[in-house]
Amino acid sequence: MSAWSPDQYEKFKDERAQPFYDLLALVEPRPNMRIADLGCGTGELTRVLHERLRAKETIAIDNSDSMLSRAPSAPGLRFDKTMIESFDQKGLDLIFSNAALHWVDDHPSLFRRLTGLLARDGQLAVQMPANEDHPSHAVAAEVARELGMQPKPVPVLPPEKYAQLLFELGFARQHVRMQIYGHVLPSSADVIEWVKGTLLTYYEGRDPRFMPLYRERLLQAIGDRRPYFYTYKRVLIWASLLGEDRVEGEHHRH
């Protein structure tokens, strides 16, 4: 996998930020929260999360040096270079992850492990792309197979599987939805610029034939349109270990 490029990723910064704000809107603010942000990227949105929720402490992790080199500073906010798979801080009030867990395998095990890191009244908030059937992603997998490469694994489950999983893990309340974000791009070719910032980091550098072939096939599949309306599906998940009645009691005590 090639190195992540903050500049490439941020070419569509505003469009990529909207799902973060939609996910943040699902979180219930509570006093003195301890938060973990898994796969924080440049950390710009982590600071928004930290400040909006007036968190006591936010630990943000990413495994990319280039992304973390952009990390901002704020009181109570800390950035660590760590893999999501090895993160093990306990007693957290909120585990938040915006567009990162789709890079981690075995979601039933992952969600079970993350649940074990939450405090008794903890919340989980996760947003993940689920756009594998769009030509932007499907063509990449097809070209990879043709060139004898392993396509990027797709660990993201259907939304109803997450709902069932959250119930089995003991969450008292949950909100799971699939949302379609529509992005108006200047042309079909700009879809390539979009996926270069994320999905294509998995393929770039593995075979010099990949990018020219991907570009040719993708533009055959989606045509030359100006502007191009790029539909992008994402799963948004929020869950709380506390039931509503107990949340009310907690609020009265503070």
Q: Are strands 118-129 and 57-62 parallel, antiparallel or unpaired?
A: unpaired
Looking at the domain assignment, is residue 1 inside a domain?
no
The pLDDT of residue 122: 98
Looking at the domain assignment, is residue 210 inside a domain?
yes
- Quick check: 157 and 163 in contact, CB under 8 A? no
Q: Which CATH number do you get for residue 218? A: 3.40.50.150
- How far is 80 from 88, CA to CA, in rounded Å? 12
Looking at the domain assignment, is residue 41 inside a domain?
yes
The pair of structure tokens assigned to 69 is: 């080199």
Geometric angle at alpha carbon 140, from 142 and 23, rounded to 5°: 130
pLDDT of residue 230 exceeding 70, the answer is yes
More confidently predicted of 244 and 129 = 129
Number of Cβ atoms within 10 Å of the Cβ of 90: 9
Q: What's the whole-model pTM score?
A: 0.92
The pair of structure tokens assigned to 189 is: 């070719």
Distance from chain centroid for Cα 46:
12
pLDDT of residue 8 exceeding 50, the answer is no
Domains identified in the chain, total number: 1
pLDDT in tens, 68-123: 999 999 999 999 999 999 999 999 999 999 999 999 999 999 999 999 999 999 99
Looking at the domain assignment, is residue 182 inside a domain?
yes
Residue of 93, 88, 80, 96 lying closest to 38 (CA atoms): 96
Looking at the domain assignment, is residue 127 inside a domain?
yes
Residues with Cβ < 8 Å from 117, sequence gap 6 or more?
A: 36, 87, 88, 89, 90, 91, 92, 95
Confidence label for 249 from pLDDT (cuts 50, 70 and 90): low
Range list of β-strands (E), the chain: 34-38, 57-62, 77-81, 92-98, 118-129, 173-185, 228-240
Domain of residue 119 covers 6-253
Element spanning 15, H or E: helix 13-24
Helix (H, G, I), strand (E, B) or coil at 25: coil
